[in-house]
Every structure is written in C-alpha cells, then in structure tokens.
Structure 1
Amino acid sequence: MAAASITQGLGLPRRVTAIIEGESLVNDATGLIAYRYALAAVATGHFVLWEASLQLVWTATAGVVIGLAVGWLILHVHRLTESPVVGTSLTFLTPYLAFLLAEELHVSAVLAVVTVGLFLGRRVIYGSQARLRSDAVWTSAVSLLNGLVFSLMGLELPAILHGIRPGFIWAVLGYGVLISGTVVAARLLWWYPSAYARAGSATIFGPRSRCRRWPW
C-alpha cells in the first residue's frame, strides 16, 4: 500500500508502477517470513544461519509454486463462467484457497496469496460488467477491512498497556514518538525533491505528469 500511494501521483508508466508495487508486495511477504523465524529463534534459543536460510528459500519457493498452481486453476474456472456474480465470488475465495493450501503444507501462505494475485492480475479474466461489479464490491470490502483492523487494534490496546511495567510505559511512548517523528521527517524531506521530480517527469513522461499532485 505504501508503494501504491507513492507511485499513484508520479505519472509513471503503468508497467513501471506494476513492477514497483509487485516488488513491494514480495518484500512485505518475505519480511513476514523472516520475522516469523526471528520470533522462533528468540522463543527456542536455537538458530543456525544455514538451516534458517535453506528453510526460508524452501518456504518462499513452495509458496510461489502453490500460488501459481492455484492461479492457473482459478484462471480456467473463470473461463467456464460468464456470470459476474460467480466471478466476484471467486475473487473472494481465491486468496483463501491459496492461503489454506499453503498453510496445510507448512510453506509461505503470504507469498502464495501474493503470487496468485499477481498471476491473475496479469490476465484478462473478466468482462466489462464483471470488472465493474468486482471493483465496486472490493472497494467496499477494503474499506470495511481497514476499519475492522484499526478497531481490533483499539480493542487490543488496553491489554497491551496493562502488560507493560508501570515504569516502562514512558519509554514505550518515547519510542512511539521517535518513530512517528522519523516517519513525518522522512515525508517532509521527500517533499522537497518531489517538486524537482515533478518538473523532470514532465520532460520524461509528458506534460500531463506536471499537473498531477503527490498523494500526500
């Protein structure tokens, strides 16, 4: 999402934008895998670099293969129906199918979902009516899911604060302020070169890019 918000107003070619957004998804998924292994190493006290590296490569590769297999299957199922309702329903079932299958085989479910999304996203599997309906449904679904995520975070916050030692809460708040300040400062530092980049993009990508606003 961060990559999408940054590239949205740059006026970049569609192919470049797709590559950047796809690469960021893979980075996020790989980071989640590495984080899981880090937690396991801390919990068990056992960590061997070459074993963890091989396991990381295996789970990532197998997750990608499962995503491609599920994508190939769903692609052929889509071609058997022209119903917009069935097509939209399949878009909800597809990530669950890839995720549950990968989890059952103990490989990267996140990479499986990312792969199946990228695989199907590169292929025309909808008619115009189905695409419009699917976009409308997913826009509402994403909005609801975002609200649900932040609501769950708010519900968990009292329990998290209760588990923090009384004398340590100020340190946690300090870390939060420091991280937030770093993010804000990074965005401000990015804003100044963006003005020059917009002027340059008018030369590289055409005059229309000069009129586009940055997403923040």
Structure 2
Amino acid sequence: MKKSPIKRTPTKQPTSWWVVFGAMWLSLGLGAALLTEVRTGPFVAAVSALGLYVLLTVIVPRQWHKRQSRLPELAVEKEIVLDDPRQALLVEANQQTQMIHQAINQVPFGLRRTLHALVRHSLVIIDATANAPEKLNHVLRFFTYYLPATANLVSDRLKLEVHAGQARLSEIDNTLVRLEAAFANFEHVVLTPDLDSVDMDMALLDKALKDELESR
C-alpha cells in the first residue's frame, strides 16, 4: 500500500544572537560611515542602517530556513518512491543486468554471444514489466531467483578464470547457455498477451449481445 506523503509544518527558528549583534554593529558602522565619510543626512543614514539590519536579521535567515526546511521533504518523497517493492525490484534487476553486460568483454569470445543474449532478454523483461506491472507475478521468479543467480554465476566465472581448470569453466559456460533458454522463455511469457483474459472478455461480450438481442 502506497504511503501518503506526510506534510510537515516548518517551525520558525529563532535568529542567533551572534547574527543580531553582528548585524547591529554592521548597521551602526554603515550609518556612521554615511554620516562622517559620505556626509549624507541623518535620515538617509538611519534608513540605510535599518535596512541592512532587517536584511541580515530577518530576510536572509528566513530564506535560509526555507531552503533547509525543503530538504527533509525531498528526503521523505525519495523514501516513499524507494519504498515501493516493485520499483526496488526493477532497480536491482537493472543493476544485475548491467553487471552481466560489463563482464562481456572479460570472457572468452565464444561466451560473449550468450551474455549478450542474457542481457537482451533481461532488458526486454524489465522494460515490459515496468510498462505493465500486472505482469510481474508471471515472471516474479525471474527477478527473485534466475537473474540474481545468473549475475552471481557470471561474477564467479570472472574470479575463477585464472584459478579453475578448463573443465570447471566449461561447466559454468554450459549452465549459462541453458540459462539463456530460460531467459528467452521468461521473455516470451512477459510479451505474450493474456489469452485467458481475452477469451473471458469475448465470452462476456457474446453473452451481453445475446441477452440484448433476446430482450428486443
């Protein structure tokens, strides 16, 4: 269930005494400089000093507080988005797919076609699931088991490239080839329309048309 964002009323923070005293001294200094150096009238000097004091003690702290108060709200919205299990699953799947893709140039040439196919099938499944979230249940095992297990297997192969014998590496390569067929099957499932649903809709329409004709 999606959480509704919590509205927080920003509380007004008191102005620091350091800011008040600093603004007071700067304002008095400005007024004195206008009177003695620039030789403006006392009215202009007083208005200028008061304006500087208001700027430093009211306007600037208020703008700073508004900017700071928006940061927690943005953090809450980001937390809500990441709290969606489906979104988190797709993000993790995309990271695992990118990891497989980055390994392509590090494996023997004969295995690169298999990894390319695994990446291609994964991207199609991720994209189709993102555009039609109701299809997630049909390929949930792909996201929770097959894809992460494949990414781990590819990572293990890179680590064993130097230490393991050719027989062990060939066993891993054969497993990846079989996984390519499984990925292709998941892609077919996620792209195939729900024929059972279509048949049900057709049956309901046929019944509605038949009832309407009989009622005339």
Q: TM-score, normalised by structure 1?
A: 0.27
| Structure index of larger Rg | 2
Q: TM-score, normalised by structure 2?
A: 0.27
Which structure has more RCO (C-alpha within 8 Å, separation ≥ 6)?
1
